[in-house]
Amino acid sequence: MASETMTRSDTEEAALAERFRKLHELYADAPEVGRVGLDKIIGDLKERVSGQQRATSAGRAGLRIGKVSELTLIADIKPAGARRMRALLDALGGNFQAADKVGTLHDMRFVFLENDTKVLFCTAYDGEWDPYIDDFATKIPDEMDVVFCNVEGWPGIRSPQIKDWIISKQHTADGWYVALPNQTVAKGRRLEKVGKAVDEFLDAVG
């Protein structure tokens, strides 16, 4: 009977309804501004997420949406490590062209925490976790060691223990948004070149 067999879509819709039921229940004792706000947007939220891509695993750790994955790492800094890292980042002035050698890296950022005793390192990248780490180890190993020698326990990017070390410091995001989940770095660069060529053509004929 049809009532005894749920389609995949039906199952997903039931799971979605249950998530929003729990959400509404948890907000029952939230501050009034949040409770009222949720009541106003919950219908829109349900509509937005229905049928949209959901985050899955990027591999050993991290989330993946479409073709893009995230890596969030928090590590303790060695004494004087923050000063060295800041001096390096200041010398670079935001110029991280070496990272382009990885080929799948969308963005990268460093944030010093807790009076310079910890560093937050975040990236977004294309594909799976293991190949991404392998690319860092083979394409920019010296750059990685110059930066991360300043954090406690760093074994060196070429070390057989490096992946276990990263996993021990990595935190999978609880919430993460990607505007263009199916646009890889390579595709974005192709589109940029096409757009530039089109602009030059239009300037020439205009």
Give the closest residue to 122 by CA, choosing from 60, 75, 163, 79: 75
Complete domains list, the chain, with CATH: 2-49 (no CATH), 56-169 (3.30.70.100)
Of the listed ranges 38-47, 75-84, 188-197, the least confidently predicted one is 188-197
pLDDT on residue 20: 87
Q: What distance in Å separates the CA atoms of residue 166 and residue 12, rounded to the nearest whole number?
A: 33
Question: Could you report how far apart the first and last alpha carbons of the chain are, in Å?
Answer: 66
Token pair of 115 as six digits: 């009076």
pLDDT on residue 79: 93
**pLDDT tens across 77-87, in order?**
999 999 999 99
Give the mean model confidence (pLDDT) for residues 168-184: 93
Contact 130, 163 (CB under 8 A): yes
Query: Which distant-in-sequence residues (6+ apart) come within 8 Å of 65 by Cβ?
Result: 53, 54, 55, 56, 176, 178, 181
- Its pTM stands at 0.80
Whether pLDDT at 195 is above 80:
no
Give the mean model confidence (pLDDT) for residues 144-169: 97
Give the mean model confidence (pLDDT) for residues 159-169: 97
> What angle do helix axes 8-26 and 32-49 make, rounded to 10 degrees?
170
**pLDDT tens across 102-132, in order?**
999 999 999 999 999 999 999 999 999 999 9
